Amino acid sequence: MSWFRRHPSIAGWLLLAPGILYLLVFYAYPTVQMFLVSLWTGSAASGYTLTWNFGIYASALNQYQDQIFRSIEFGGLATLFTFVLSFPLAYFIAFRGGRYKNILLFLVIAPFFTSFLLRTISWEIIFADNGIVLGPAKELGLVPPTFRLLATPVAVIAGITYNFLPFMTLPLYVALEKIPPSLLEAAQDLYAGTWQRFRRVTLPMALPGVFAGTLLTFIPAVGDFVNAELLGSPQSQMIGNVIENRFEKVSDYPTGAALSFILMAAILAAVFIYARLVGTEQLSGGGA
Amino acid sequence: MVASAAPNHIQKPRGHLGRRLVRSVDRWILPLYAFVAVLYLAIPVLVMIAFSFNDPTGRSNLTWKAFSINAWLDPLGKPGLAQAVTTSISIAVLSTIIATILGLLIGLALVRHAFRGRGIVNLLIFLPMSTPEIVLGVSLLTLFIASTQWSFVPKGTFFPLSFTTILIAHVMFNISYVVVTIRARLQGFPRHLEEAAADLGANEWTTFWRVTFPLILPGVIAAALLAFSLSIDDYVITEFTSGQTQTFPIFIFGSQLRGIPVQVNVIGTIIFVSAVLFVVISTLLQRRQRLDPVEAEEE
């Protein structure tokens, strides 16, 4: 044991080794393998060989550009909506929560103790054609009998917005909560009005939370296929649906792998640009 | 004098109105909004619970027909459901244990040891959390598929997909979350307590188990709980690594086309209520016994 003390670097690496090896074998290498599989040609029946077929990237981008743009659109809109919905809520909890702060935070998180799938299925029930909302609305003549929510882009975006809301609310809350009251008092002492104080102190101080929340929401939103599958229609498919379909239904591994690689590369590029802007410590919660 | 007094006179009521608006937003609109937002967050859960008491006529449990407690009396009474729930729990327990051990070791190394390559290690921890789940699932699947072409991997290790491949996937995505949770707990760790133990003649092994471990235990438990809940709820990554094996989320999604049985809502409700009760009880217990030296020291 005293040997450990004389070689702290080696002791550190010994502690790290099992977990880091695991991540290298089952996280880092598989992304390389995914890239290699995207360059395979062949079929599930006759077997695949690595042919360095880079052309698949052009054809995949070309064939599925609708779904790619739709994913960015749905993910972006859902991220915007989570921000609009979360900000007043996070603001209220941080500044007006008082002794109910923890209870309010618990009420925000508690719904997410329910399975992601079951939450989405609940929205399916709520949006159903003659369900608990549209049924009575149609009977009262508020909407035409053919009006639909389920199987529309609105339902998909609403589902994504709901499912990823805490990923926005919590970072915003953490950022707002950190603002020292003395700073707000100082603004007041310097004759800043309520609006000016909000715009020149609160909002800039909340920016790290906005950045973190945007990333945490946009990344899962853009890659999601569950909401589009359960709440959407074949016309509102996202890139995730295509990838899932390529692997699980038709065993077209190269196209599925190529699309996943494009998704990963696009998101990593976005993360690195963000990291350059705000620093990785804000993103991973310190230490990185 | 007259010229400058006039605009003042006009501006005064406007400022007053603005202040009244701000005050009413502050006093009424913001709390009302928070209430509506919390209600909005709760609606799908309430719907799930309500529909666990539904008696659907057709196969799909999407419209309300009649009140019934049949599903509650027989919560596992659908073919494959009991097996799926058992599989989910087994994978959650095993992946939690493995990921917590691996993550704890990494967390200890990161906080307490100086070594080269820290930046790369941090990056390797951070990246899995910022990779979309579908990419994690797909990349593991490509590894498992490709492994059939490698002579050094015994046939059938990873492909066909199985319980083992799901477990491998769940440990992988859990490690980063464990590290982040435990690292947050280890920062600000009272190192002088360990030094005191060493001064009193305890060797490093004794110091770890008698001083360090009890102090970081709350962080380890928090990390393990997070890992368990992430594992038991995972659908996306499991979808790509499960093959014929069914977990509870895979069962739900699979039955989605044929119509989800009411039993799914019952089990969902049971999981939700136990999670809420667990958090409430542990919070109450923590409030009663503040024996935690780390927190006591902070106060």
Residue pLDDT, tens place only, A141-163: 888 888 999 999 999 999 999 99
How far apart, in whole angstroms, are the C-alpha atoms of residue A131 and residue A124? Answer: 9
A42-84 residue pLDDT tens: 888 888 999 999 999 999 999 999 999 999 999 999 999 999 9
A210 in any annotated domain: yes
How far apart, in whole angstroms, are the C-alpha atoms of residue B60 and residue A33? Answer: 40
> Are A256 and B138 within 8 A, CB to CB?
yes
Facing B37 at nearest CB: one of A85, A225, A287: A85
A273 in any annotated domain: yes
Q: How far is CA A233 from the centre of its chain?
A: 21
Chain B contact probe: residue of A36, A38, A99, A117 with most B CBs at under 10 A: A117
Contact yes or no for A101/A109 (Cβ under 8 A): no
Facing B134 at nearest CB: one of A123, A223, A280: A223
Nearest to B149 by CA among A134, A253, A220: A253
Looking at CA atoms only, how far is residue A113 from chain B in angstroms? 6
Chain B contact probe: residue of A48, A106, A109, A125 with most B CBs at under 10 A: A125
Structural domains of chain B sorted by starting position, each given as residue range(s) with its CATH number in brackets: 79-260 (1.10.3720.10)
A240 in any annotated domain: yes
pLDDT interval class at B135 (50, 70, 90)? very high
For residue B84, pLDDT beyond 90: yes
Q: Tokens 């991973």 — which residue?
A: A284
Which domain does A194 fall in, by range? 64-284
For residue A287, pLDDT beyond 50: no
Binding-face residues of B in 2-31 toward A, CB within 8 A: 18-19, 22, 26, 30-31
B55-59, B198-202, B292-296, range with the lowest pLDDT:
B292-296
**How confident is the model at residue A193, as a pLDDT?**
80
**How confident is the model at residue B289, as a pLDDT?**
60
Chain B contact probe: residue of A2, A114, A249, A283 with most B CBs at under 10 A: A114
Contact list in A for residue B22 (CB cut-off 8 A) is 194-195
Binding-face residues of A in 49-108 toward B, CB within 8 A: 85, 88-89, 91-93, 96, 104, 106-108
Please classify residue B85 by burial: count the beta carbons closer than 10 Å to its beta carbon, then call 0-12 exposed, 13-18 middle and 19+ buried: buried
Please classify residue A62 by burial: count the beta carbons closer than 10 Å to its beta carbon, then call 0-12 exposed, 13-18 middle and 19+ buried: exposed
A38 in any annotated domain: no
CATH number at residue A228: 1.10.3720.10
Average pLDDT, chain A: 89
pLDDT interval class at A98 (50, 70, 90)? confident
> Are A247 and B128 within 8 A, CB to CB?
no
Nearest to B150 by CA among A36, A258, A248: A36
| Number of continuous H segments (helices) and E segments (strands) in chain B | 14, 0
A15 in any annotated domain: no
**How confident is the model over A177-190, as a mean pLDDT?**
86
What is the sign, positive or negative, of the torsion defined by CA atoms of B119, B122, B128, B129?
A: negative
Number of domains in chain A: 1
Facing B62 at nearest CB: one of A18, A128, A283: A128
**How confident is the model at residue A153, as a pLDDT?**
95
A7 in any annotated domain: no
Residue of B297 and A134 predicted with greater confidence = A134
A32 in any annotated domain: no
A41 in any annotated domain: no
**Torsion angle of C-alpha atoms A173, A174, A177, A183, degrees rounded to 10:** -110
A208-262 residue pLDDT tens: 889 889 999 999 999 999 999 999 999 999 999 999 999 988 889 999 999 999 9
How far apart, in whole angstroms, are the C-alpha atoms of residue B59 and residue A272? Answer: 48
> Are A13 and B171 within 8 A, CB to CB?
no
